[in-house]
Amino acid sequence: MNGDCSQEDEEISKVVVITGANSGVGFALAQRLLALEITVTICLACRNVAKAEKAKTELEEEYKGAKVDILQLDTSSIASVTAAAKELQRRYRQIDYLYLNAGIMPDTGINWDYLLWCLIHPSYLVDALSTGEGLLKMQDSDTKDGLKLIFATNLFGHFLLVRKLEDFLCEKGCHIIWTSSSNARKKNFSMDDIQDKKGRQPYSSSKHGINLISNAINDRLKEKNVFSHVICPGFSITGMTSPMLGSLLWSLLYPLFVLLRLFIPIMCVTPWNSAEVLVWLFQSDASEVNPALLHTSHKSFLGKGYVKSKKIEFYSHEPRLLYKRLVALQTTLEGMGPIG
């Protein structure tokens, strides 16, 4: 690990921590922030340090004078999250932006039967293409801590990171930005099965959980200048999507996806375009942004990037209830043994 900042450095530099920043949208965000403000300190909080080193080298070559640090973080591991939270507090005097971007949708494949069905019923096609609903097959598994992998990686690990950093973030304020998805669906989430052990949409469930928990955190901490918001990066071709079709097929389909923007403007297609909403929040006054909306990257057919926001579906008691359930889960897991 590296990245000890001198106090003088930090006084002029905003500190931006991005989880899952070695590729895809997280990496594009690091590029766009450095293009905008070369003085920001970017901390790539990544599971795979070798890939993070490569990303750091690329960023430093592309943006001369860039300050890029690496932090080892596996969001699916409680021990790793605990260690990373300690290290962040040791390293930095404050975190200005915490982008909770890491995410997985493992072993996905296309549900061809559903796609064919949608072609016969085109009214479902736009929804399927823009959210992936019903179109993607996925397989969940268990972590060493006994959690479902998708839940642990996308939601719980990030929740735990915020919990472990809470007092530190409240000292100076912070803008927390969670990456959700247009695939987040209330109907795929159950308060009685928050890990979606029984369900068939663990990705959608984890992302709806993110929408709820971000609202709970914003409610709890906004008075202390810690704001929490959720975004969807639209659709782009990244490490997450490539296993579905393979890179050659994606390259062949690229023009088709650009054409689809005529009807589905969340077809951002590239990670750079998908990072639009993340950059928008970086430039926004966090206290003015509505936490109850999902803010999404769009790209017009003529190539203009913009953000559109829509209301997240939830009952007012649900964010608090999920918060309580996650705290209870944390307490249970931490009571089970030495996890850091």
Ligand X SMILES: NC(=O)c1ccc[n+]([C@@H]2O[C@H](COP(=O)([O-])OP(=O)(O)OC[C@H]3O[C@@H](n4cnc5c(N)ncnc54)[C@H](OP(=O)(O)O)[C@@H]3O)[C@@H](O)[C@H]2O)c1
Joined tokens for residue 73 = 């973080």
Contact between residue 162 and residue 98 where contact means Cβ atoms under 8 Å apart: yes
241 binds ligand X (CB under 6 A): yes
Q: How far is the CB of 303 from ligand X (least distance, A)?
A: 18
Q: How far is the CB of 12 from ligand X (least distance, A)?
A: 28
Task: Give the Cα separation of 221 and 225 in Å (integer).
Answer: 7
Q: How far is the CB of 8 from ligand X (least distance, A)?
A: 31
Residues linked to residue 43 through DSSP beta bridges, in sequence order: 17, 69
- Strands (DSSP E) contained in 115-198 are 136-137, 174-179
3-state secondary structure of 339: coil
- In this structure, are strands 293-299 and 226-232 parallel, antiparallel, or unpaired? parallel
Which residues, numbered 21-40, are part of the site for ligand X (CB under 6 A)?
Answer: 22-26
- Between 150 and 226, name the residue whose CB sits nearer to ligand X: 150
The interface mask with ligand X, positions 251-280, x = CB under 6 A, is: --------------------x---------
13 binds ligand X (CB under 6 A): no
How does DSSP classify residue 152?
I
Kindly indicate which of the ranges 20-28, 158-166, 245-253, 314-322 contains the residues binding ligand X, using the contact rule CB under 6 A. Answer: 20-28
88 binds ligand X (CB under 6 A): no
Of the listed 97, 99, 203, 323, which one is catalytic?
203
Contact between residue 241 and residue 304 where contact means Cβ atoms under 8 Å apart: no
Of all helices (H) and strands (E), which one includes residue 57?
helix 49-62
Start-end of H helices in 152-284: 157-172, 202-221, 242-245, 247-260, 271-274, 276-283
239 binds ligand X (CB under 6 A): yes
Q: What is the DSSP string of 63-105?
A: STT-EEEEEE--TT-HHHHHHHHHHHHHH-S--SEEEE-----
323 belongs to the catalytic site: no
Total residues at interface with ligand X (CB under 6 A): 31
Q: How far is the CB of 224 from ligand X (least distance, A)?
A: 26
Q: How far is the CB of 123 from ligand X (least distance, A)?
A: 22
Catalytic residue set: 203
Binding footprint of ligand X on the chain (CB under 6 A): 19-20, 22-26, 46-48, 51, 73-76, 101-104, 153, 179, 181, 232-233, 235-236, 238-241, 271
